[in-house]
Amino acid sequence: MGADNLAWYERARESLLYVGPKPEIVIERGSGLELFDVEGRRYLDFVGGWAVDGLGHSPAVVAEALTRQAAELVNASPSYFNRVQVEFAEELLDASGFDKVWFGSSGAEANEGAIKLARKWGKKEKKGAFGIISMSNSFHGRTLAAMAATGKEEWRTLYGPALPGFVHVPYNDIGAARAAINDEIVAILVEPVQGEGGAVPASVEYIQGLRALCDEKNILLIFDEVQTGYGRTGSLFAFQRLGVEPDIMTLAKGIGSGFPLSALLTRNRFSVFEKGEHGGTYSGQPLAMAVGLAVLRETIARDISGNARRVGAYIREKLGFFEERGLVADIRGEGLLLAFDSTRREGSEIVADCLKDGLLVNSPRPKAVRFMPPLIVEERHVDEAILILGRHL
Ligand SMILES: *Cc1c(COP(=O)(O)O)cnc(C)c1O
């Protein structure tokens, strides 16, 4: 990379708390499927702001919503309802079929809320049951409760004792979930497709089995749709494709198409928080609400989910050619949350070579390469990405 990137990169390393290695580029602007670094170098983006920028980089609807709302009201206070919050809540509930929503700013925050809501319900309705079954290999965020829910062994002891009350069972194994249920369990928490786990989908039978199990045992089914929601897996919410309705659902990532926003949705009968038990300074923040409303309307009006299905199938077809030549294996995922394993190279090497060649992809596991492009991606972008990828497999 050139001198400007390196100079900015050094400044970043001086000023920003180290949380992991990053490539020696610094991003300055973006539009649609493209990002540009401080030297004006272009990258075709198949990371999509980490499955976040569904409508692409700097979409006009987001810019307009922010400008309009900023002139009207930036922040009222969490102690008052605000108008755009009500409008967005109603439209999101209409689109999802839930009864009640609480807004946050990040996926981890929404999951914290879901864990608290389930535990509160357990206190009220299940003699204080508070245990939550979650899955090996899952990811639910980086707050301490979300870390305890996450299925990473290394996180159990990373920051001292983990929050108790979580049991991890293998994904796609209904027998293991059933065996883990006892009187202390109040909920099962699951991702319809494990995103950070490497785009591993749950089978329809498994998810339907979990729903039946939760009904049988009178415990809550919680879907973490932070990554799978908002069209990413080919329907507005993944639960719609799977034919089951969770009791609680969390959303983040795509919901703000780049603006920090998350949501916790549930049914009237599980709306059990009482005064002062949950909240947040930025819950229902008007700028976030205006963006959320604009993104939801645009996502539905442009049939973004349909595009995810179509272009997702096109990517699979193209990857299939590499599979036939033995270069990739185990192509998996749903819609535009896709991954494959390299048969010859480390995922991180492929990622680094693609970046030098102007393509951004991600490697969530040692051999895996993941695609999670903006949901407005077109076939021509796929053709360009496949051409670059093909040089580095
Ligand atoms: C990214 C992610 C989270 C965490 O979201 P943040 O906004 O980073 O807190 C939680 N669950 C899933 C499934 C995710 O993919």
List, run by run, the mean pLDDT of 10-residue segments along the chain (393 residues): 93 97 97 98 98 98 98 95 98 98 98 98 98 98 98 95 97 98 98 97 98 98 98 98 97 98 98 97 98 98 98 98 97 98 97 98 95 98 98 97
Distance 71 CA to ligand 1 centre (A): 31
Backbone φ and ψ of 267, nearest 5°: -100, 160
- CA 327–ligand 1 middle distance (angstroms): 30
Task: Tell me the C-alpha distance between 323 and 317, whole Å.
Answer: 10
Ligand 1 mutation pick, 105, 139, 171, 191, max ligand atoms within 8 A of CB: 139
224 is catalytic: yes
pLDDT score, position 1: 75
Query: Residues near 108 by Cβ (< 8 Å), separated by ≥ 6?
Result: 140, 141, 142, 143, 146
Nearby residues of 258 by Cβ (< 8 Å), 6 or more positions away: 49, 52, 53, 57, 58, 59, 62
Task: Give CA separation, 351 vs 25, 138, 181, 355, 357, in Å.
Answer: 14, 22, 41, 6, 10
Catalytic residue among 126, 224, 247, 367: 224
Q: Of all protein residues, whose CA lies closest to atom 15 belonging to ligand 1?
A: 227
Protein residue with least CA distance to atom 10, ligand 1: 140
Backbone φ, ψ for residue 304 (5° rounding): -60, -35
Ligand 1: residues with CB < 6 A are 106-108, 111, 139-141, 191, 195-196, 224, 226-227, 252-253
What's the pLDDT at 18?
97
pTM over 0.85: yes
Contacts for 284 with CB less than 8 Å, ≥ 6 apart: 78, 81, 82, 85, 103
Expressed in angstroms and rounded, the spacing between residue 258 Cα and the centre of ligand 1 is 13
